[in-house]
Structure 1
Amino acid sequence: MGFKLSHLYAPPDVNPVTLKARSIPVLNPVDIYGRVFFFSWFGFMIAFWAWYTFPPLVANSNIVSLCATLLVRLVAGPLCDQFGPRNVFGGLLLVGSIPLGLAPLVHDARGIYVSRFFIGILGGSFVPCQVWSTGFFDKNVVGTANALTGGFGNAGGGITYFIMPAVYDALAGLGYLPGQAWRLTFLVPLGMVISTGIALILLCPDTPTGRWSDRHLHAQREPLNLDAHHAPSNFDLETSIGTNTEKANSIVDVPGRITDRPDPIETSKNKKQLLPRSSPDDANDDDSNSDKQDDKSSAIAITIPITLEPSNTINYNTHPTATPNHPAATVPAPSTAAAKETIQPPTARELARVALSPQTAFHVLTYACSFGAELAVNSVLAAFYAARFPGTLSQTGAADWAAAFGFLNVVARPLGGIVSDLLYKHFSSSLGRENEEGMVLWWKKGWVVLCGLVTGALLVVIGAINPGKEGLVFALVALMAVFLEAGNGANFSLVPHVHPRANGVLSGLTGAGGNLGGVLFAVVFRCMDDGTDYAKGFWVIGVVTLVVNLGVCWIPPLPKA
């Protein structure tokens, strides 16, 4: 399914098995999928804005929040799997608003750092943002969706550097003293964080199928969903219970063995549907029913009351679904589709399995190099520019050029996800079996590694050569930023495929890895001649990035199980 301009605003086609959208209605927040997409990136952007409220006002306070955010991301992943990403997302925004609202009450440096630490809770909202987006968009666009929500959200860090000083200047112009003005500026992000947290909880669903607690029911009644959309399935309802599936409360003769008892499936309306288990003998039951009735020792005809919901009572949000000629119509059997992608409550055994898998190590280490390097470089870039060109570049000019590094996230991170999805579409023409998906995902994984290698090489070039021309330095940093931030998007394009039943756990571990990398690389900059040799710091981080990506490139994209 190629891109069309209407995909930006029209209700998307949905996968009939998982009910995930196969396009992204970016410009249609009224649609359920467009609404979730909007609140995913907007909520994360507001959280990022509030997370960075201190740096423009109080220097060197942002590093304190990285440790807090790391811990929150580790916890947020399992919480998403247990309670749903929407609830965790809204909860983090509302809980994070408390220290944000109390920040103006501090009166000394210690209070500022304590407040900044707890405001770091808001940085953990990245995890539910990605898990929520993954739950609403199908595999053909999930990389783009995650990259867009992450990239747009990261722009909140750049917005902070413009909005907070502007609000401060406006309040100072109204006659407020500096000590009063900087405290009052917190009212703006505080109001946005609270209102956004409440809005996404009230206006958005947990999953495309309804409430988080009912997500398993959709997988159970998937055979009826497939039949309603004429999609192939291992469950042939027309053969088993007759062709009239829209007649409710009917009496149906179901041939079969006495041991083939139907399975009751409880629907959300508390109605019971009875589906016979298929067996190799069922295909010829209609032709040999009379003969089997004579041999009562081996088989009987079972007459049972069966309640079938008409197909038009299932709410698909009026979105087009698969047809026999649509690619979405070719879907796996229920046991390998919706059930496989249904997130399970985390257990200690599952947490250990995911945390210790080589695939998790790949994502954590590569994201530590990409997002970790982004955090560290962003924190020193203005100082690097000012120190490298002291005679020609003012402090304000250096800060403006450094801000461009963060704003490239709006383009570069989505680019990483888009390229990843294009590779997936191009090489998945024969997608069907698990091992074939693993082969296709090598291309997604290769794109992650390529971004890491190019980033590492450019960091080494910037640090080793340390060019003396402003234009050349700006160009090299911008090119490095494109591959660095594209690597972030590419990483979370692959994450949804790896452990789909524990997507929150893997997302939390990967996100925490990014924060850990930010802390470690910040230490690298501080250790280079007491934090003054920025070029050497670039060189060291580049070498680490190259070594890590080469060291994990052999890991298969999917676990063997």
Structure 2
Amino acid sequence: MQEIYEGNLKVLIMSTLAFFISVMVWFNLAPFSSIIMEQLGITKEEIGVLMLVNLSLAIPARIIMGRLVDRFGPKRVFAVLLVVMSVPCFIFALSSSYWQLLISRLFLGIIGASFVVGIRMLAEWFPEHQAGFIQGIYAGWGNFGSAIASFTLPLLALLFGGDNGWRYAVAATGLLALIYGLVFYHQVEDTPPHKAFKRSKSSGVMEVTSFSDLIILLFISLPIYGGMGILVWSLQQAGLLAKGAAIGFYALLAILYLVHVWKIWVKNIAYLKSEIPESEQYSMLQVSILSLGYFATFGGELAVISMLPMFFLDTYSLNTVAAGMIASSFAFTNLVARPAGGWLSDRFGRKRILMTLLFLLGILYFGMSALKGEWPLFAAVVLTMCCSMIGQAASGSVFSLVPSIKKSKTGQIAGMVGAYGNIGSVCFLAILNLTYPALFFGVIGTAALLCFALSFFIKESPQVYSTDSQYIAERNYHLKVEQNI
């Protein structure tokens, strides 16, 4: 193991830290929801819309980033993303009106696509039989950025002091992203020395390898536009979009989807007429099942992280700092749970572990739906952490399967699966804005149980390397070839 990590540990640390900072920027709104409501005179419903738009653009962004990273490499894409996203972060910190908050949060959602970039990079630097554990570390410790944001940003705001303390705290996360983006570009490479980066021929639509897979791709592309439609509907319900404007956006989304369908159809019909080597074939059905699994697991997590500070503040009448600290317990378990989910999948079978975790997650979310102020605060925190641990582990188990589908398309597949996580969060938050927390938790639990049933159809592909020694032998072989050349 030490020999494997000798050259790869730096990449794991650098990628994880890049994702960690991205998540801090992504969720720097949640700890200050109440303060922003008070200072700018906005309603709880309007804060709910901010939470929704904060997640929305990550849906198409993950698809786009998946294509870009397969085309241009994770090093460039990650660095540019961090630097560019510091701009809307600064704008949000300086906002003095609700519309400024809304627009800046909308564009900040793009930084949620950072997850996809690291998935491709780690797939290049680590062997497949370690995929679950390594990507669990990346996602688990990276997503811990939301807990750090909930825990430390209110304290940082208090340290700055005054009415603008929250603004300085938010701006600090943007400055961190800007600096680290430049550092990341100069410190990592796309692949190890013995490997060449296999670039996708284009950054366009996905290529499938059967007609049935083409139909599945057309079908699972629809929710991407549907998720954006939910955003438009939510803005209309909040009174931020007139009915005519909303209809115009619906029509635009419909046109964009039809154009996307046409591009997929034209490109793939031509591709399917050629003889596709067996080595290039992969299953879109597996992609769709994993996408729905991530819809329930990570989608539920994002939605809960966004609403949990205010939920604890209202349910137990806590102050902002205390509610943020308790709510951070939901994301705190990322440090252990997501790597554990990946490791268990690598060790005991990815399908088996995923099914077990999805079933347990459904039961725990139904427990969350029964959570009320009459419960002891300690019991509520324990239930929250248990739900979080199983949810994070399930997310890790889902992504342990992603790189094994098709290595050269890992970015695009991760983009599709990751986008469904954001689609889930948008759908769940829309339900929360319409109903109440108990039903919100119950819907997530139902989604998890439905995905448990679908997971029966998952087929695990054979791993490239079953042991570390096989991986080392293959790596040393390539190094010798390079030296001889």
- TM beyond 0.5: yes
**How far is 1:113 from its partner?**
1.1
Distance 1:373 1:44 in 2: 19
Of 128, 145, 161, the match for 1:139: 128
Question: Is 1:381 the counterpart of 2:308 in the alignment?
Answer: yes
Equivalent residues of 2:88, 2:107 under 8 A apart: yes
Equivalent residues of 1:464, 1:536 under 8 A apart: no
Number of the residue aligned with 2:362: 456
Query: Which amino acid in structure 2 is aligned with residue 137 of structure 1?
Result: F
Number of the residue aligned with 1:482: 389
Equivalent residues of 1:74, 1:512 under 8 A apart: yes
Distance 1:57 1:469 in 2: 25
Number of the residue aligned with 1:538: 441
Change in 2 beyond 3 A, CA 1:380/1:145: same
Number of the residue aligned with 1:270: none
Change in 2 beyond 3 A, CA 1:194/1:525: same
Question: Is 1:90 the counterpart of 2:79 in the alignment?
Answer: yes
Change in 2 beyond 3 A, CA 1:447/1:171: same
Number of the residue aligned with 1:507: 414
Of 181, 190, 202, the match for 1:206: 190
Equivalent residues of 2:70, 2:203 under 8 A apart: no
SS in 2 for 1:553: helix
Equivalent residues of 2:66, 2:413 under 8 A apart: yes
**How far is 1:518 from its partner?**
0.5
Distance 1:475 1:383 in 2: 18
Equivalent residues of 1:351, 1:505 under 8 A apart: no
The correspondence of residues 412-427 of structure 1 with structure 2, limited to 5 A, is 412-423=337-348
Query: Which amino acid in structure 2 is aligned with residue 163 of structure 1?
Result: T
**How far is 1:494 from its partner?**
1.0
Distance 2:377 2:174 in 1: 39
**How far is 1:394 from its partner?**
5.8
Question: Is 1:102 the counterpart of 2:102 in the alignment?
Answer: no
Could you state the TM-score of these two structures normalised by the residue count of structure 1?
0.63
Query: Which amino acid in structure 1 is aligned with residue 193 of structure 2?
Result: T
Number of the residue aligned with 2:11: 36
The correspondence of residues 429-444 of structure 1 with structure 2, limited to 5 A, is 443-444=349-350
**How far is 1:133 from its partner?**
1.1
Distance 1:476 1:107 in 2: 38
Distance 2:388 2:166 in 1: 32
**How far is 1:131 from its partner?**
1.2
Number of the residue aligned with 2:428: 521
Of 87, 92, 106, the match for 1:117: 106
Question: Is 1:366 the counterpart of 2:273 in the alignment?
Answer: no
Change in 2 beyond 3 A, CA 1:104/1:551: closer
SS in 2 for 1:113: helix
**How far is 1:411 from its partner?**
1.0
Number of the residue aligned with 1:276: none
**How far is 1:395 from its partner?**
5.8
Change in 2 beyond 3 A, CA 1:363/1:384: same
Of 149, 168, 189, the match for 2:138: 149
Query: Which amino acid in structure 2 is aligned with residue 190 of structure 1?
Result: G
**How far is 1:464 from its partner?**
4.9
Change in 2 beyond 3 A, CA 1:465/1:167: closer
Deviations 1:452-480 (A, max 9, x none): 11100121233258683444333332222
Change in 2 beyond 3 A, CA 1:170/1:142: same
Distance 1:394 1:52 in 2: 19
Equivalent residues of 2:83, 2:177 under 8 A apart: yes
Change in 2 beyond 3 A, CA 1:204/1:399: closer
Distance 1:39 1:351 in 2: 31
The correspondence of residues 176-215 of structure 1 with structure 2, limited to 5 A, is 177-179=162-164, 181-209=165-193, 214-215=196-197
The correspondence of residues 274-289 of structure 1 with structure 2, limited to 5 A, is none
Number of the residue aligned with 2:353: 447
Change in 2 beyond 3 A, CA 1:163/1:385: closer
Number of the residue aligned with 1:554: 457
Distance 2:310 2:173 in 1: 27
SS in 1 for 2:158: helix
**How far is 1:351 from its partner?**
3.5
Number of the residue aligned with 2:269: none
Distance 2:319 2:100 in 1: 32
**How far is 1:352 from its partner?**
4.7
Distance 1:395 1:200 in 2: 34
Deviations 1:268-320 (A, max 9, x none): xxxxxxxxxxxxxxxxxxxxxxxxxxxxxxxxxxxxxxxxxxxxxxxxxxxxx
Of 23, 27, 33, the match for 1:52: 27
**How far is 1:138 from its partner?**
0.5
Query: Which amino acid in structure 1 is aligned with residue 357 of structure 2?
Result: C
Change in 2 beyond 3 A, CA 1:49/1:210: farther
Higher relative contact order (CA 8 A, sep 6+): 2
Distance 1:204 1:95 in 2: 19
Distance 2:74 2:313 in 1: 42
Equivalent residues of 2:67, 2:204 under 8 A apart: no
Distance 1:165 1:388 in 2: 20
Of 388, 399, 409, the match for 1:492: 399
Equivalent residues of 1:89, 1:125 under 8 A apart: yes
Query: Which amino acid in structure 2 is aligned with residue 484 of structure 1?
Result: G
Distance 1:115 1:83 in 2: 27
Distance 2:26 2:368 in 1: 29
Name the Cα RMSD after superposition. 2.5
SS in 1 for 2:128: coil
Equivalent residues of 2:340, 2:393 under 8 A apart: yes
Change in 2 beyond 3 A, CA 1:471/1:55: closer
Query: Which amino acid in structure 2 is aligned with residue 404 of structure 1?
Result: S
**How far is 1:348 from its partner?**
5.4
SS in 1 for 2:410: helix
- How many residues are matched? 376
SS in 2 for 1:411: helix
**How far is 1:558 from its partner?**
4.6
Equivalent residues of 2:32, 2:166 under 8 A apart: yes
